[in-house]
């Protein structure tokens, strides 16, 4: 039921606040990534996550709340102690627009990523204030910050604090970990969507490039969000996401083990950064060149009519990005030190409540 409510919230946001192009991968994509990751979690990680969310709450069920929050209030399906107010300021946490004329390796360092404009300011807004978030306002920094929130130790009541103050501190700690976990799940998915990492002459990741595909007018960015399932967002279901996850997991089994292992061969910071480097280069070397080749001399004001085979042409890229996101999400969460001492290779640990 909670997953169905997430879908309803997405539709409400679409009609009330504008086009769905601002979302990423769509509900089905994020749920698919989370479902893949869920199957690859260590038992200790599974137990720790159940301690945060509850024993019957899956990663997929919390995977889309960061998008919901940008367009309306949400209590994360009743998991939070109180609803969060709509916070459009969190929108920039979901991407980093690197100009395609730049050169970025497949394995960029954090210093390299920090030089781009979206990382030159600090996070702001009500959610950042609640989380104590003062890191850069871009995707790789926000993933790492959310992981650091998972490592925050359970608050120890101060002798000077009242019972009510101690209870409020504990509630805030619990809420922050729920929010942080949801953002890790969601943003790891976002950074694997190529159009969340690149832009060309200020087109905001393809959001000003007009296309028409299978009779539908949309932006190039929106099309890439939508390539997983062209049946329409209202028809994307948790069942479809799980079925796609099972298909992609089966395909994973047929890949060479050393190939899959190479996706997670570095530490957590490198794993996060590499996803951005890969996505950027897919946009730079494949998506944008294909778009401009198809457009030719046609004015950008006229929607480019893409052939019906475009989805089949690009779907292998989409499928692999979903697979890599799921494998990496599990790897990142498995690196968290869940024993509550506040340390890990990602500066992220945890303590059950």
Average pLDDT across each block of 10 residues of the chain; the chain has 353 residues. List them in order.
41 36 72 97 95 95 96 97 97 95 96 90 94 93 95 90 96 96 98 97 94 92 82 68 94 95 96 98 97 90 92 94 98 85 38 34
**Per-residue model confidence (pLDDT) at position 352:** 35
Residue 103: per-residue pLDDT:
95
| Model pLDDT, residue 228 | 77
Q: Which residues of 175-193 are buried (b: 16+ CB within 10 A; e: fewer)?
A: bbbbbbbbbbbbbbbbbbb
What radius of gyration, in Å, describes the C-alpha atoms of the chain? Answer: 20
pLDDT of residue 15: 34
What stretch of H or E contains 268? helix 268-282
The DSSP code sequence of 293-309 is HHHTTS-TTSPEE--TT
Helix axes 139-150, 163-191, angle to 10 degrees: 140
Protein fold of 2-334: P1 Nuclease (1.10.575)
pLDDT at 225: 87
The model carries a pTM of: 0.89
Cα–chain center distance at 17: 20
């Amino acid at each position: 039921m909670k997953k169905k409510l997430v879908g309803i919230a997405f539709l409400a946001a679409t009609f009330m606040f504008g086009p769905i192009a601002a979302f990423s991968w769509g509900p089905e994509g994020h749920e698919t990534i989370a479902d893949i990751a869920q199957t690859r979690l260590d038992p200790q990680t599974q137990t720790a996550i159940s301690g945060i969310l509850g024993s019957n709450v899956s990663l997929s069920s919390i995977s889309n709340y960061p998008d919901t929050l940008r367009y309306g209030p949400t209590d994360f399906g009743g998991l939070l102690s109180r609803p969060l107010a709509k916070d459009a300021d969190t929108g920039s946490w979901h991407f980093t627009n690197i100009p395609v004329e730049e050169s970025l390796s497949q394995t960029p360092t954090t210093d390299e990523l920090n030089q781009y404009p979206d990382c030159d300011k600090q996070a702001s807004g009500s959610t950042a204030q609640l989380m104590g978030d003062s890191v850069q306002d871009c995707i790789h920094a926000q993933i790492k910050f959310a992981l650091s929130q998972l490592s925050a130790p359970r608050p120890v009541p101060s002798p000077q604090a009242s019972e009510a103050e101690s209870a409020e501190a504990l509630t805030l700690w619990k809420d922050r970990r729920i929010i942080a976990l949801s953002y890790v799940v969601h943003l790891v998915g976002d950074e694997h969507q190529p159009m969340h990492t690149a832009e060309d002459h200020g087109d905001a990741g393809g959001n000003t490039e007009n296309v028409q595909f299978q009779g539908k007018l949309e932006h190039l960015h929106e099309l890439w969000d939508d390539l997983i399932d062209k049946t329409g967002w209202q028809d994307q279901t948790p069942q479809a996401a799980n079925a796609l996850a099972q298909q992609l997991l089966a395909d994973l089994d047929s890949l060479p083990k050393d190939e899959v292992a190479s996706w997670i061969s570095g530490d957590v910071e490198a794993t996060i950064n590499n996803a951005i480097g890969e996505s950027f280069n897919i946009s730079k070397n494949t998506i944008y060149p294909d778009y401009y080749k198809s457009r030719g001399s046609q004015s950008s004001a006229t929607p480019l009519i893409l052939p019906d085979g475009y989805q089949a042409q690009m779907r292998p890229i989409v499928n692999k990005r979903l697979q890599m996101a799921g494998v990496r999400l599990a790897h990142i969460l498995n690196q968290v030190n869940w024993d509550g001492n506040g340390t890990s290779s990602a500066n992220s640990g945890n303590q059950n409540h």
